[in-house]
Structure 1
Amino acid sequence: MNRRRTTAAAAGALLSLALAGCSFGGVQSLPLPGGADLGSHPYTVKAQFADVLDLVPQASVRVNDVAVGRVTSIHVADDGWSAMVTMKVNGKVRLPANAYAHLEQSSLLGEKYVQLSAPPAGETSRGRLAGGSVIPTSHTNRNPEVEEVFGALSLLLNGGGIQQLKTISTELNKALTGNEPEVRDMLTQVDTLVTDLDTHKQDITDALDGVNQLSATLAVRDQKIGTVLTGLSPGLKVLDQQRGSLVTMLRALDTLSGVAVDTVNQSKDDMVADLQALAPTLQRLADSGKDLPDSLQVLLTYPFTDEVLNGVKGDYLNVYLDLTAAPGTQLIPALESKDNVYGDTAQPQSQPQSKKSNIPKGLPLPLPSVTTTAGGR
Structure 2
Amino acid sequence: MLVASALVLTGCGSGGFDGVYNMPLPGGADLGDRPYQVKVQFKDVLDLVPQAGVKVNDVPVGRVDRIDLGADGWTAEVTVLVNGDVRLPGNSVARLRQSALLGEKYVELARPAEGRAEGALADGSVIPVERTNRNPEVEEVFGALSMLLNGGGIAQLQDISRELNAALEGNEPQIRSLLDNLNTLVGDLDAHKGEITRALDGLNRLGGTLNAQREQITGVLDGLEPGLKVLSEQRTQLVTLLQSLDTLSDVAVDTVNKSKDDIVADLKALAPTLRKLAEAGTNLPNGFELLLTYPFPDSAVDAIKGDYTNLYADLDLNLGTVVENLGRSRQSPLPSLPGLPGIDGNAPSLPLPLPNLPLPGVTGDSGLGDLLGGLLGGGR
Give the residue type in structure 1 aligned to 2:264.
V
State yes or no: 1:265 paired with 2:257.
Answer: yes
**Post-superposition CA distance 1:33-84 (Å, at most 9, x none):** 4433434443322221121122122222222223332211112222333211
CA distance in 1, matches of 2:244, 2:9: 120
State the percentage of identical aligned residues: 52
Partner of 1:145: 137
1:43 has 2:36 as partner: yes
Which residue does the alignment assign to 1:75? Answer: 68
Q: What is the alpha-carbon distance in structure 1 between the residues aligned to residue 173 and residue 286 of structure 2?
A: 81
Q: What is the DSSP-based 3-state SS (H/G/I as helix, E as strand, rest coil) of the residue aligned with 2:259?
A: helix
For residues 323-342 of structure 1, the C-alpha deviation after alignment (integer angstroms, 9 at most, x for no partner) is 84889xxxxxxxxxxxxxxx
CA shift, 1:142, in A, is: 1.0
Specify the SS of the correspondent of 1:84.
strand
Matched, 1:116 2:92: no
Distance in 1 between residues matched to 2:12 and 2:231, nearest whole Å: 96
Residue 233 of structure 2, aligned match among 220, 227, 238: 238
Question: Deviation of residue 102 (structure 1)?
Answer: 0.8
Is the aligned partner of 1:58 residue 2:67? no
Q: For residues 162 and 169 of structure 1, what CA distance do their matches in structure 2 show?
A: 11
Aligned-partner SS, 1:282: helix
Question: Structure 1 residues 93 and 178, CA, compared in 2 at 3 Å: closer, same or farther?
Answer: same
- Cα drift, residue 23 of structure 1: 0.7
Q: Secondary structure at the match of 1:277?
A: helix
When residues 231 and 182 of structure 1 are mapped into structure 2, their CA distance, relative to the original with a 3 A threshold, is same
Kindly tell me: are residues 326 and 248 of structure 1, through their superposed partners in 2, closer, same or farther at Cα, counting changes over 3 Å? closer
- How far residue 85 of structure 1 moved from its aligned partner, in angstroms, is 0.9
Q: Which residue of 2 aligns with 1:23?
A: 16
Q: Which 10-residue stretch deviates more, 256-265 or 292-301?
A: 292-301
Code of the aligned partner of 1:63: V
Residues 127 and 285 (structure 1), Cα distance of their counterparts in 2 relative to 1, 3 Å cut: farther
Whole-Å separation in 1 of the counterparts to 2:291 and 2:151:
110
Q: Which residue of 2 aligns with 1:340?
A: none
Aligned residues: 312
2: CA distance, partners of 1:299 / 1:221: 57
Superimposed CA distance per residue, residues 148-201 of structure 1 (whole angstroms, 9 cap, x where no aligned partner):
333433444555554554444444444433333344444445556666777677
Change (3 A) 1:40 1:282: farther
Higher mean alpha-carbon deviation, 76-85 vs 297-306, is at 297-306
2:168 corresponds to: 176
TM-score by length of 1: 0.62
2:247 partner letter? T
Counterpart of 1:141 in 2: which secondary structure? strand
Q: Does 1:100 align with 2:114?
A: no
Cα distance between partner residues in 2 of 1:322 and 1:218? 81
**Cα separation, 1, equivalents of 2:226 and 2:248:** 35
Matches within 5 A, 1:1-377: 18-121=11-114, 123=115, 125-157=117-149, 160-188=152-180, 202=197, 231=226, 235=230, 238-239=233-234, 243=236, 245-294=237-286, 296-297=288-289, 300-301=292-293, 303-304=296-297, 324=318
Query: CA 1:207 to 1:174, structure 2 compared with 1: closer, same or farther past 3 Å?
Result: farther
For 1:225 and 1:322, locate their aligned partners in 2 and report how far apart those are by CA, in whole Å: 77
C-alpha displacement of 1:234: 5.1
CA pair 91-234 structure 1, distance change in 2 beyond 3 A: same
- Distance in 2, Cα, partners of 1:156 & 1:253: 68
User: CA–CA distance in 1 between the matches of 2:37 and 2:227?
Assistant: 69
Once residues 280 and 221 of structure 2 are traced to their aligned partners in structure 1, the CA distance between those partners, rounded to angstroms, is: 65
Instruction: Write the distance in 2 (CA, Å) between the matches of 1:153 and 1:286.
Output: 95
